[in-house]
Amino acid sequence: MTLTLTVDGKSVTTPAVLANGSYYLPASFYGTLGVTPAA
């Protein structure tokens, strides 16, 4: 499964993992956005 997101007008596709009914993105992807996910 991959998700395509639009970030700052750019289309970004990233793998997503389905777990417990929610999609999770790799932590490295958040880093590229400058976002730190809550632990």
The pTM of this model reads 0.41
1 and 23 Cβ atoms separated by less than 8 Å:
yes
According to DSSP, residue 5 is labeled E
The Cα–Cα gap between 31 and 20 comes to 23
Predicted local distance difference test score (pLDDT) of residue 39: 58
Predicted local distance difference test score (pLDDT) of residue 24: 79
* Cα angle: 8, vertex 4, 33; to 5 degrees: 40
The DSSP annotation for 13-37 comes to: EEE-EEETTEEE--HHHHHHHT---
Predicted local distance difference test score (pLDDT) of residue 38: 64
**What does the block give as tokens for 37?**
């996910």
